[in-house]
Structure 1
Amino acid sequence: MERVKDALAALDHPERDYPALHVAGTNGKGSTCAFVARALEAAGHRVGLYTSPHLVRVNERIRVAGEDIPDDVFGQRILEVLERYPSARTDPMTYFEFGTVVALWHFSRERVDVAVLETGLGGRLDATNAANPVVTCVTPVSFDHMEYLGHTLREIAGEKAGIFKPGVPVVLSRQDPEAMDALLRRAEQLGVPVHVEGRDFGLEVQDDGRLAYRGLAWSLGDLTLSLRGPYQRQNAAVALACLEALHARGVAVTPEAARVGLATARWPGRLEEVATQPSVVVDGAHNPAGVAVLLEALEALYAGRPLHLVFGVVADKDRGPMMRALFPLATSVHLTPLDTPRSLAPERYTDEARALCSRVVAHASLEDALAGARVDADGSPEGWVLCTGSLFLVGAVKRLLA
């Protein structure tokens, strides 16, 4: 954290110019941030939103008032940071560290009322942990980035809990008991108030199929979610609890604005349909827990329709459980390389794939894999294409089809 803190000090601490919501977790962080940011905008606030990774352009990571940072402003902000912190040239920060400093500086220069910040990896040593939160949040914790965060849920959750600050309320989604224990222990050590999904707040499907929220102070019925998939109910519940906590900390937001936020938020790359005839859907599931909630959504939205899968994965991911969950459901599987040095070459796991699906094709490029899957889908009634396994893949498909 030293380089980030030194840079922010050289910039006269821009992170102190606005309150922030700081969100950690393994899955659901981005959707939760999108719901919160949109609701705060509907409440009349000028909102800074910092997320990662980007799908198509790096500008997507830094947004103010719902708009990506423009190229010319981005360049200007980078030069301003380098001018005020010349050590960045001789003792370079990482890509993510530097981007975080630029984002926090940009939000200050743009005079945002509030910032919504998503951690990149972990929490305790994440560059965003230099921010000034008035509420912190942890979405579901599961196994990912174990080489950095630990090999047990307790260790991983402990790293996520590193964003907790004395006196700053914490919002927690439902968790595995081992992860929840680690999170609650850290909160108790710091003496911070904790709001737990299922105990203090929750979103339920009523008998008539409508969604209702019962929270810390709010009770909202007949809610509509703009983001698809049953798993978004949990993200929406956590977002609403964060909004209630923010309101209690002086960031004014009404239940009506929260309702608008849930109904109008956008978060690309999550069950997003990017083409038709046949339907092509991209989803950023890239770990076993992400695939599990994706399968729940597919059962709700695409049950009975022949699935043609485009799959790519980076080498350090736990691909086995993802493949065993997805591939037997597919009519065909098209393996693709990814545009990153971390890509796992399709030929490295073709045999594994063929043990799980009768039709598997390893392709030399995404263009070939996507074309092959679309041809297969065209040949089956109601056939459709799902591209998943990595956010690198989601971004590449969106660029290709654009």
Structure 2
Amino acid sequence: MADPHAYLAGLQPLAMRFGLERMHRALDALGHPERAYPVLHVGGTNGKGSTCAMAAAALEDAGHRVGLYTSPHLVRFNERIQVASAPIGDGDLASVIDEIRRACPWHDAGGEGDRLTYFEFATLAGLLHFEHVGVGAAVVEVGLGGRFDATNAIVPRVTAIAAIGLDHTQLLGDTVEQIAFEKAGIFKPGVPAVVHGRQPPAALEALRAEAARRGAPFVVAPPDYAGAIALSGPHQRGNAALARAALAELARSGVALSDEAIVRGIATARWPGRLEEISGVLLDGAHNPDGAAALAAALRTMHPGRPVELVFGVLADKDHARMLEALAPAARALHVVTPASPRARPAPEVAEAARRLGARADVHASVVEAIDCARRAAAPDGVVCVAGSLYLVGEARGLLAPR
């Protein structure tokens, strides 16, 4: 295959078809690569990627060759599938894509209902690559929801649920109880289910009830972690506590992992685009109201008294009004841009919503223009921050970070 990225793009990245039938069929055809290594399966609304990064770092510190599967990517698809902190190469990606197509001829030959979706194909590629390179353990992040997510075809050693909030409400429900029920769909009989220690009370009870119904031992992580954390922001203390509790269960399941390795992993983990500073610009993937509130709190904690120039853009399915309610008071001005996605909310609409809250908001034609304007406004003592959409953060990171 000459260009694996062109093939993946042809699978319509935004198309979703719920159900696990295609995944089970494909895994059967491939000989169940996901059974070759123990898996930590991580879901939730906010912080699941950070939790995955900490868990993978700890497992690597313990001497394991670790596979890490996350989504979405920020700059290149290859970021989604990593082994020993290195993204999959294009050659290996092309190879596993060809292998999946050979094993599943019904994918290319079938009708729309038979074809694997973009995310299903990506998940299979990650699981197969992990088997080929012989990982000792894998950390797998849920894509969306849990119950019908492609990753839920895995039977892991441990499941973990990060903090739950209102996001993707048009697909998962408009209450935290409904969303918690969907997230808890990854719980399996006899598999420990570890949940973030700071859940909304209604979400926690829904998770507890579903764990009992499914026969999953239920563990509530401590609300905070007292040790050193590499990732920035006060909200990472809860994520670190979740990672440590989930890893402790993984160790109890037979995976060689000391508490010292867990502590060192949490103290060294890196996760791009989450309160990450590049070329003097702070990038954060806050893309829903709870994430926006966490970012606002982090800005006040990390940069007290410094004015913030916020480059902001959102997708149309996000609650931009509540995000602005959290972020506008934390910023001196907003530099609004339309993210590079067909699902983006137009920048003029977002800017008008910000102005109704009394915020200063300008509209820019591009991310480059918005960052340049924010930098000029921030000099000499301000902070430039890009947030609101992972698509926007990825575009900014591609511009700011050396390859």
Q: Structure 1-normalised TM-score?
A: 0.92
Per-residue deviation, 1:357: 4.2
8 Å CA contact 1:332, 1:357 repeated in 2 = no
Instruction: Report Cα offsets for 1:299-347 as digits up to 9, x if no partner.
Output: 1101110110100001110000111121133222110011110111111
> Residue 193 of structure 1 is aligned with which of 217, 221, 229?
217
Q: Which residue number corresponds to residue 271 of structure 2?
A: 267
Q: Does 1:255 align with 2:259?
A: yes
Per-residue deviation, 1:202: 4.7
Equivalent residue runs for 1:184-333 within 5 Å: 184-197=208-221, 201-204=222-225, 211=226, 223-276=227-280, 280-333=281-334
Per-residue deviation, 1:153: 1.0
Separation in 2 of the partners of 1:202 and 1:325? 22
8 Å CA contact 1:31, 1:267 repeated in 2 = yes
> Residue 33 of structure 1 is aligned with which of 42, 52, 70?
52
Separation in 1 of the partners of 2:326 and 2:209? 33
Separation in 1 of the partners of 2:270 and 2:353? 36
Q: Which residue number corresponds to residue 15 of structure 1?
A: 34
Higher strand share: 1
> Residue 53 of structure 1 is aligned with which of 44, 68, 72?
72
Per-residue deviation, 1:18: 1.2
Q: Which residue number corresponds to residue 106 of structure 1?
A: 129
Instruction: Report Cα offsets for 1:21-68 as digits up to 9, x if no partner.
Output: 111100000010100111001101111110000001100000111111
Deviates more, 1:26-35 or 1:343-352: 343-352
Per-residue deviation, 1:350: 2.5
Q: How many residues align?
A: 377
8 Å CA contact 1:22, 1:133 repeated in 2 = yes
Separation in 2 of the partners of 1:323 and 1:6? 43
Q: Does 1:350 align with 2:374?
A: no
8 Å CA contact 1:333, 1:357 repeated in 2 = no
Deviates more, 1:185-194 or 1:44-53: 185-194
8 Å CA contact 1:312, 1:336 repeated in 2 = yes
| 2:60 aligned counterpart, secondary structure | helix
| 2:148 aligned counterpart, secondary structure | coil
Per-residue deviation, 1:192: 2.1
Per-residue deviation, 1:133: 0.2
Separation in 2 of the partners of 1:383 and 1:272? 16
8 Å CA contact 2:157, 2:253 repeated in 1 = yes
Separation in 2 of the partners of 1:328 and 1:195? 37
Equivalent residue runs for 1:159-174 within 5 Å: 159-173=182-196, 174=198
Residue identity opposite 1:182 in structure 2: A
| 1:23 aligned counterpart, secondary structure | strand
Q: Does 1:115 align with 2:134?
A: no
8 Å CA contact 2:146, 2:184 repeated in 1 = yes
Separation in 2 of the partners of 1:144 and 1:376? 32
Q: Does 1:44 align with 2:63?
A: yes
8 Å CA contact 2:30, 2:100 repeated in 1 = yes
Residue identity opposite 1:25 in structure 2: G
Separation in 2 of the partners of 1:295 and 1:372? 21
Separation in 1 of the partners of 2:286 and 2:72? 13
Separation in 2 of the partners of 1:81 and 1:112? 19
8 Å CA contact 1:330, 1:357 repeated in 2 = no
8 Å CA contact 2:320, 2:350 repeated in 1 = no
Residue identity opposite 2:303 in structure 1: Y
Instruction: Report Cα offsets for 1:212-263 as digits up to 9, x if no partner.
Output: xxxxxxxxxxx21110111111111100001110000000101111111011
Residue identity opposite 1:274 in structure 2: I
| 1:75 aligned counterpart, secondary structure | helix
| 2:224 aligned counterpart, secondary structure | strand
Per-residue deviation, 1:351: 2.1
Instruction: Report Cα offsets for 1:166-206 as digits up to 9, x if no partner.
Output: 00011011211111111100111122211112xxx4535xx
| 2:287 aligned counterpart, secondary structure | coil
8 Å CA contact 2:194, 2:246 repeated in 1 = yes
> Residue 99 of structure 2 is aligned with which of 44, 61, 80?
80
Q: Which residue number corresponds to residue 215 of structure 1?
A: none
Separation in 2 of the partners of 1:351 and 1:234? 34
Residue identity opposite 2:312 in structure 1: F
Per-residue deviation, 1:392: 0.5
8 Å CA contact 1:138, 1:172 repeated in 2 = yes
Percent identity for Structure 1 against Structure 2: 52
Per-residue deviation, 1:74: 0.8
5+ long unaligned stretches in structure 1: 205-210, 212-222
Separation in 1 of the partners of 2:224 and 2:366? 42
8 Å CA contact 1:39, 1:258 repeated in 2 = yes
5+ long unaligned stretches in structure 2: 1-19
Residue identity opposite 2:60 in structure 1: E
Q: Does 1:150 align with 2:154?
A: no
Equivalent residue runs for 1:333-348 within 5 Å: 333-348=334-349
Separation in 2 of the partners of 1:289 and 1:328? 15
Residue identity opposite 2:209 in structure 1: R
